[in-house]
Every structure is written in C-alpha cells, then in structure tokens.
C-alpha cells in the first residue's frame, strides 16, 4: 500500500513518467470539463463538443504513446508481439474516429461505414491473434506445451458469454443512439478509467491489478446512459487495457480477459429503471457486473492458465483460477462500489447521474 504514491509522481523511467503525466492530464481534463459546464451554463453543447475534441486528442495520444512504450518494454523482456499489439492500436484508433463521426455527423451512411470499419478492425485483431497463436510463440514464451491451453473450451466460453451479454442488453429499453453528450461522457469515463488504472494498489504477477477505483467511471456511465452503451464503452476500454497491460496466450483468452470481461462492467446499470432506490440499485448492479467479469476471467484462467496451478501447489485449475482472479477482481470492484456509494450519497451527483441521458424538449 505504501507504493501507491509512486504512480502519482514517478519519473524514474520513460514509462513511469508517461503514466504520471497522463494521469494528471486526465484529472485536469475532467475537472476542466465540469468547471466549464458550470460556468458556461448557456452553451453546454459547445463545451461538450470542445471537450470531445480534447478527450479524443487525449485518448489518441494515450493509445499511440502507450502502444509505443508497451512495444519497447515488451520487446526488451520478450513479451507481446507486434502482431498482437498493433492491430489493437488500430482498433482503438478506429473506435475513436467512429466516436467523433457520431458526435459531429448525423449522416446515416457515414455512420454505417465507420461502424463497419470498427467491426472489421475488431475482426482483424482476432485474426491476427489467431495467426500469432498458430506460430506457437505465445506457448514458448510462457513455457507451455501443446495441450496446456484448451482451445475448444476457450472458444465455447467466449461465444457463450458474448451471447449472454448481448442478450442482457435487451433489458435496456433505451435506444442505442449516441449523441454528442453521451459520447462526451464516454470520453470522460474512458479517459478517467484509463488514468486511474495506472494507480495500482496491487499488481498481480500474471496480469490483473487492484486499482484506484478505475472501474467506477465505466460503472457510473452504464447507470447513467444504460447498459447498451455501457457494454460498448466497456469493451473498448477492455481493448485499451490489453494495450496497457498485455498478457495474451490465445485469441479466445484475449476476448475473455479483455473486451468481454470489461464489457461485463458495462452491465452495472442493469437495475436502472427498476423500483429499487438508485443508491441500492447501483451497488447491486455493479456487483453483478463485477461477478460477470470474474466469471469471464475465471473461464480464461481455467482453460488458458490452468497449467500454472502447480506453481502455487494447487492441483485443481478451477480452484487456482477462482483464487487468483478473486484476489484482485473482487477487491478492485469493491473499492469502486464503495466510492460510488459515497458519491451517490450527494444529491448533486445523484441528480447529475439520473439526468445525464435526459433529452431536452424542442
């Protein structure tokens, strides 16, 4: 716990310096947005558009900066291959471009083209991971033999969870229409979550960490704008996490540990609109979201990392995966939920969340 402060001001090397600078830039960006929204009450739409450009620039800079640093760091220690890393960077850049298009244009054809490009970029990520996995390099780097990674169960698990999460989004009766406001808040949420994820209270040896409530921005966004939008920005954030802290053995494992797991965090708003008091609906929904992430990572741990159970004197890959993933996922979620409850105890914050997706009458 004493090492937490090193993430706030740390200039011992290039990567640490970048983390500290980008963290404080994100905080400054978010504070500036809310201050401007209060001061410029009569033209909040213009403030939102201006901030969207700033948030876009921040995310784009983060993607490029940390992709380069991750590539350098992992090349030095034999980590992630460029064939895995760079397609993720391209995907993140395409998502950013798509968000900007949705914010500034109502042209349906243009939006459709960029959505198609986003889908193709995601498919390209998976295809490149399949190609990379077929080389046998991921197994060699992690001292795995043939058969240690259970390919078929991994793909089945990923497919089933995708079906489940897509099915759950139909509980959200809100239309999936991203306007300037929802995209601006998405940019705020992703930027803040990305910055907070660098403040690690505990970093696990094989991926994962307890962070400074980094899941909370995604959870609150989901509660404010609905789980359809929450799941989407959660999945995008998951890909950014793969760029930030890559630990990839298999393409289906990548899906389970990153986009699917963090898309699950976007389910935090699942109880919005029920008869439950928001101060109760949010933490219960956030807990459901955290358990979905745990399930996704648990299945990844069983079928991709199960062989590492012996390193911890455990014979069951199921117990190993449950123990390993629970160690950081549950405390990480608990910290975010507690902070969220404290924030929602404020009437001002509660009103802001409940009215975030309200449409102005013409």
pLDDT tens-digit profile of 92-131? 788 878 877 877 777 888 888 888 888 898 888 888 888 8
pLDDT at 330: 96
- Asked if residue 88 has pLDDT above 90, the reply is no
pLDDT tens-digit profile of 207-254? 889 998 999 999 999 999 999 999 999 998 998 888 777 788 888 999
pLDDT at 1: 41
For the chain, give the percent of residues with pLDDT over 70.
Answer: 83
Max mean pLDDT range (12-16, 53-57, 146-150, 309-313)? 309-313
Distance CA 165, CA 147 (A): 29
The region of weakest confidence among 136-140, 148-152, 176-180, 201-205 is 136-140
Distance CA 16, CA 241 (A): 16
- Asked if residue 259 has pLDDT above 90, the reply is yes
Counting beta carbons within 10 angstroms of the beta carbon of residue 140, is it exposed (0 to 12), middle (13 to 18) or buried (19 or more)?
A: exposed
Phi, psi of 10 (to 5 degrees): -145, 115
Summary mean pLDDT of the chain: 82
For the residues of 89-126, what is the DSSP string, one character each?
HHHHHHHHHHHHHHHH---HHHHHHHHHHHHHHHHHHH
- Asked if residue 361 has pLDDT above 50, the reply is no
Q: Residue 359 is encoded by which pair of tokens?
A: 């449409």
CATH class of 4-354: mainly alpha
- Asked if residue 338 has pLDDT above 90, the reply is yes
pLDDT at 325: 96
Identify the helix (H) or strand (E) that includes residue 287: helix 278-304
For the chain, give the percent of residues with pLDDT over 90.
Answer: 31
Q: What is the pTM of this model?
A: 0.79
Higher pLDDT, 189 or 153: 153
Indicate the SS3 state at residue 173.
coil
**Residue 362's pLDDT band (boundaries 50, 70, 90)?**
very low
Contacts of 66 (CB under 8 A, 6+ apart): 18, 22, 243, 244
Q: Residue 150 is encoded by which pair of tokens?
A: 């259970």
Contacts of 222 (CB under 8 A, 6+ apart): 229, 230, 231, 234, 265, 266, 267, 268, 269, 270, 285, 289
């Amino acid at each position: 716990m004493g090492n937490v402060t090193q993430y706030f001001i740390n200039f011992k090397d290039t990567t640490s310096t970048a983390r500290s600078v980008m963290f404080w830039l994100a905080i400054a960006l978010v504070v500036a947005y809310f201050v401007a929204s209060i001061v410029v009450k009569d033209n909040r739409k213009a403030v939102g558009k201006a901030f969207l450009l700033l948030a876009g620039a921040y995310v784009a800079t983060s993607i490029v900066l940390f992709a380069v640093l991750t590539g350098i760091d992992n090349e030095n220690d034999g980590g992630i291959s460029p064939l895995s890393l760079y397609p993720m960077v391209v995907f993140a850049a395409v998502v950013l471009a798509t968000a900007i298009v949705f914010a500034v244009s109502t042209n349906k054809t243009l939006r459709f083209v960029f959505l198609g490009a986003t889908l193709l970029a995601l498919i390209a990520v998976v295809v490149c991971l399949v190609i990379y996995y077929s080389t046998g390099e991921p197994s060699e780097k992690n001292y795995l033999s043939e058969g240690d990674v259970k390919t078929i169960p991994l793909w089945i698990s990923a497919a089933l969870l995708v079906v489940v999460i897509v099915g759950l989004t139909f509980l959200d009766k809100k239309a999936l229409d991203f306007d300037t406001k929802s995209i601006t808040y998405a940019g705020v949420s992703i930027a803040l979550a990305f910055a907070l994820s660098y403040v690690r209270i505990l970093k696990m040896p094989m991926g994962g960490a307890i962070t400074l409530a980094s899941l909370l921005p995604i959870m609150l966004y989901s509660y404010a704008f609905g789980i359809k939008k929450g799941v989407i920005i959660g999945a995008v954030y998951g890909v950014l996490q793969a760029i930030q802290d890559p630990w990839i053995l298999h393409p289906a494992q990548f899906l389970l540990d990153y986009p699917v797991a963090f898309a699950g965090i976007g389910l935090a708003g699942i109880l919005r609109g029920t008869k439950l008091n928001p101060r109760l609906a949010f933490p219960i929904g956030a807990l459901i979201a955290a358990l979905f992430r745990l399930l996704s990572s648990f299945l990844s741990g069983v079928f991709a990392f199960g062989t590492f159970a012996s390193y911890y004197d455990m014979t069951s890959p199921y117990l190993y995966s449950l123990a390993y993933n629970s160690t950081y996922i549950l405390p990480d979620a608990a910290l975010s939920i507690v902070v969220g409850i404290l924030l929602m105890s404020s009437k001002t914050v509660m009103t802001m969340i409940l009215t975030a997706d309200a449409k102005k009458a013409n």
